[in-house]
Structure 1
């Protein structure tokens, strides 16, 4: 209502301006004709005339009305260069700020909601360098000032910043026009003020800040490198530290464009994904899924199916799977591709030099560019008594050879949920403890389904639970926990409050799966002064460059997403920006990032969740399709889960998609492609999907959206038309 009232007030004011022909008073001819009268008024009542003029100028500027240029000339004609410049400078800045605030109040929230994804990069740039860009625009009067006022109101720039930058930035143009006003009698038209030479001067003035910024950046870069002697020649074009997903892709790309590249790995090729993460966990999940299918065989009409668990053989298969995938990431393969692979511990000793400790001795390489892709490691929680009990992380879990009868999983994230369900599936008694709830990034409907699936599998799930200590009592290992108050949200104020007595949870093995932390120590970052973020990752710009532009980083060591596919995605930008430094660079695009949690049912998500949309104030509507209605799901007795799509109200553009069910990770690709290339649900609905397949779920979800937005009035008339056609 406030916005509507303000809009009506503005429309009335603008209407009155034109209804009373005030626009005809703000012309060059009218100003010349009235100059003698205004001079007499000013001589008689100078303070009053200045005050009225000031208020009028503010009003014209605030309402974005035509006439500000004529009023600026009038200020020079009436008040002279000094007083005129002073009056116009403050009046124009105040009026511009009012127009800025009106635009922000009326339009910003709606625009930001509608175009949130597309404006994310612009918003970040404005927050960082908004004053600089506004100053540049203000220096060039070929950009209409009223347009700048309105557009800047849609951005997150601070009001005070907008005011003072406008005050300074518009001063040059103000001086030119006020000075022209002092020579009013000689002016024949406004074009005589803005001559090509003057416009060219303004353009050069506007370019000057850009050139100045470039020079400043060059000076800063020289200062950054000032304490480090630059080699006259380099041994390599690119050195990559870390042979996980990010490092492997970076090295592969460099070799593909015929650069001389060295890849350094201190442990095992393939990194965590191959050796301790994605590959072994999915191999274990496959065995657990088969056993689950055996237990549910009666649903398929099979009676008496059974299977015996041999834990050692299951783990043996896990290691065989690793060995089978290993050649894809091996030293031999990358050597054949043209990459020099060195097994050793790397350490930065200068912006261009890497020292390597190898089994055969130390060596140092120089390189024009360096990519840090050192990944992340599991977090070991600081729990009193943890060192007295048998505990593992997702990294060393795969070395166990005997089945833990009682497994306690600490953590409710994707890794904790996947492994808790998998070990329960192969016959372990699993207790899972989550500080808040499971899968904290997901929506409530997704969480409810996965909680039910975990409990159905036999997992004892304890949410909103705080760990106190580990202890050994009469030879039994136990984790002592207590619950958070269930009626309050989690928060720091609850650290000393509990909702129940202590509970001792016995276990044979404790699996710590509370998250992963970037590997940033031991690589020489401190010696070079490369800063870290608050999250403990390497601080980089949008091009993945660190403090030193030739040193880049990608993958888990940078974040914000710790996924193998994101590391590979970032590696392209890191490698190209390093190899072609000073020629061309590319921003990393993190806007459309899919993720999958490989529980049963799987959880696949791309774009916004409902929780994220609500937190950001983004308007949305939800379209759902339940998989129990899908023919292929019915034939496989697997009709549990749903497809959920978020779109702007009344639009088919996809803001986010969530799929919970079998093969959810595979089904997500269609929505990811659609979001990446701006395809809406109408396009998905118009695509032929083979029958009967799981992929039809996307089409039916799009169909539900279409039915919900069918033009009801048109359908009524169509019904009447067809009735008429029947006679």
Structure 2
């Protein structure tokens, strides 16, 4: 048995683990990085990267069908589904070297390709190697949750971990789950020529603002996607090429089935009991992301519970590096400034409090300002006028923002910056932006907040008349 002693042992080479390892080793700490599966984790191999690559292919196909308003005759695209998947593979291959074992070994990490398990509160085993560390970081991410639907184990089904290996285009894709993954893949496959039915046990896009989600869902239904809500999947049957899902709202049959109902944290291999690491569905951590039961252990990303996004794992990594490497304990994890986006067309993005949350927290001090896409000149020029921005403001500061519309995921950045830095609405209103751009939607929303104060103010109007009367 080989024994390794190190400063930091990172378990999991997804986005959070890689960020911790890179930051710690470049600051001078000795780092061991353990990964039993693929470097880059879910985001690179099964999640953010491949899904956005497939969405891009689908957008190109869709563009061929909707050019009539611009004087471009629409045509039915000839979609090569396997070639679209080749594009996905090329994108993964292009990005993979950044997350590779070779790169991290060059940075100075000891990389072990095996599964890790705790054998004591201060040691893990990976294969025949025992790693003893001053600090451990659990960054094993999450995997698709497969619900116990009767009959599901008797039929072939897909998850995000197997979908991107599929080479033959589905004739009719059934998707159980109407969250971000389900809706993104529903639209992508519809645009690539598949019939698509989404089956959701509650409300589709149920974690998003209902008013804003409706904008997206209306577009998806308009493109021919069948979205069945409040239809819990009760039984699955059939076989390859003809799979049936029975629900409380009816029976649906398709050629392929995608399960997209959520994710579970990957903790089962770690033997956390041996490491004295308290956990339930995730590791139990304090606001510094440190285990409440073993002070040597931290958790980041999905393993820390809470929001399951790649950028959250990166944010957590920064907190852990400051604490575990530099001994700086002032950083505490919070979610108030964390944005997220669903990459449908139109996109839906959010940061901070929703309208419902803001009304509950701020009461009479809350103001909600809106600005529609169809009053933005760039959106009009490009025919992308479906959309809305909604900003929640309390005592002059934005406390939340939701955008449904073209490039919402990019536009939300200004509000994420404002909320993270406790800026006032005047910071947005005073910003000069190039014309014509979609980013002016943000400035116009800030302007809408001030317009009532300026234009519906009798005192101000009286003052202006006096000023104009006596101004030299």
Question: Do these two structures clear the TM 0.5 threshold for a shared fold by scoring above it?
Answer: yes
Deviation at 1:639, TM superposition (A): 1.0
Q: Distance in 1 between matches of 2:123 and 2:167?
A: 43
**1:301 and 2:301 correspond:** no
Which SS does the other structure have where 2:175 is aligned?
Answer: strand
Is 2:268 the counterpart of 1:521?
yes
**Matched position secondary structure for 1:391:** coil
SS for the counterpart of 1:510 is strand
2:382 to 636, 639, 645: 636
Q: 1:517 to 1:511 in 2, by over 3 A?
A: same
Shift of the alpha carbon at 1:715? 3.1
The normalised TM-score by structure 1 is: 0.62
Q: How far off its partner does 1:301 sit? A: 1.4
Q: Is 1:541 aligned to 2:286, yes or no?
A: yes
1:600 aligns with 2:379: no
Match of 2:201 in 1: 435
5 Å matches for 1:324-403? 324-357=94-127, 362-403=128-169
Structural RMSD (CA): 2.0
Q: Does 1:591 align with 2:336?
A: yes
Q: Report the Cα distance in structure 1 between the residues aligned to 2:113 and 2:468, rounded to whole angstroms.
A: 80
| Aligned mates of 2:34, 2:240 — CA distance in 1 | 48
- The Cα of 1:323 is off from its aligned counterpart by 0.5
Whether contact under 8 Å (2:352, 2:400) holds in the other structure is yes
Q: Does 1:720 align with 2:462?
A: no
2:25 is equivalent to residue 278 of structure 1 = no
* 3-state DSSP of counterpart to 2:289: coil
Stretches of structure 1 lacking an aligned partner (at least 5 in a row): 1-232, 484-502
| Mapped contact 1:371–1:552 kept (Cα < 8 A) | yes
Other structure's SS at 1:390 match: coil
In the alignment, is residue 576 of structure 1 matched against residue 322 of structure 2? yes
Q: 1:522 to 1:477 in 2, by over 3 A?
A: same
How far apart are residue 445 of structure 1 and its match? Answer: 1.2
Structure 1 equivalent of residue 300 of structure 2: 554
Q: CA deviation at 1:591?
A: 2.6
Q: Decide whether aligned partners of structure 1 residues 658 and 304 sit closer, same or farther in structure 2, where only a CA change above 3 A counts.
A: closer
Matched residue, 1:70: none
Q: Is the 8 A contact 1:371 1:578 kept in 2?
A: no
Whole-angstrom distance in 1 between the partners of 2:116 and 2:322: 22
CA displacement at 1:578 relative to structure 2:
2.3
User: Could you say if the C-alpha distance between residues 613 and 295 of structure 1 is closer, same or farther in structure 2, counting changes exceeding 3 Å?
Assistant: same
Q: CA deviation at 1:612?
A: 2.0
The aligned residue for residue 278 of structure 2 is: 531
Displacement, 1:643?
A: 1.1
**Aligned-pair CA distance for 1:315:** 0.7
In 2, the alpha carbon distance for the partners of 1:375 and 1:289 equals 29
Q: CA deviation at 1:579?
A: 2.8
1:98-247 alignment runs, 5 A limit:
235-247=5-17
Q: Structure 1 residues 618 and 272 mapped into 2: Cα distance closer, same or farther (>3 Å)?
A: farther
What is the CA distance between 1:349 and its match in structure 2?
1.1
Distance in 2 separating the partners of 1:468 and 1:632: 47
On the 8 A contact 2:120/2:276 being kept in 1, the answer is no
SS of 1:365's partner is: strand
Deviation at 1:709, TM superposition (A): 2.1
Q: Deviations over 1:676-709 (max 9, x none)?
A: 1111111111111111111111111111111022
CA spacing shift, 1:473–1:707, aligned 2, 3 Å: same
Larger RCO, structure (CA 8 Å, separation 6 or more): 2
Among candidates 18, 34, 38, match of residue 264 of structure 1: 34
Rg larger for: 1
Task: Provide the secondary structure at the position in 2 that maps to 1:543.
Answer: coil
Task: Give per-residue Cα distances to partners, 1:646-702, cap 9 Å, x unaligned.
Answer: 012xx3210101111111111111111111111111111111111111111111111
* Aligned match of 1:508: 255
Decide whether aligned partners of structure 1 residues 374 and 726 sit closer, same or farther in structure 2, where only a CA change above 3 A counts.
closer
How many Å separate the matches in 2 of 1:473 and 1:267? 30
**Structure 1 pair 470/401, CA: closer, same or farther in 2 (3 Å)?**
same
State the 1:277 CA deviation.
Answer: 0.1
Counterparts of 1:695 and 1:258, CA distance in 2: 41
1:378 to 1:475, Cα distance in 2 relative to 1, 3 A:
closer
Question: How far apart in 1 are the matches of 2:356 and 2:226?
Answer: 26
SS in 2 for 1:374: coil
Q: CA deviation at 1:520?
A: 1.0
Aligned residues: 467
SS at match of 2:348: strand
CA separation in 2, counterparts of 1:726 and 1:258?
A: 66
Work out the CA distance in 1 between the residues paired with 2:162 and 2:36: 17
Report the TM-score when normalising by structure 2. 0.95
Contact 1:390 1:508 in 2 (8 A): no
Does the 8 Å contact 2:149/2:233 carry over to 1? yes
Secondary structure of the residue aligned to 1:697 is: helix
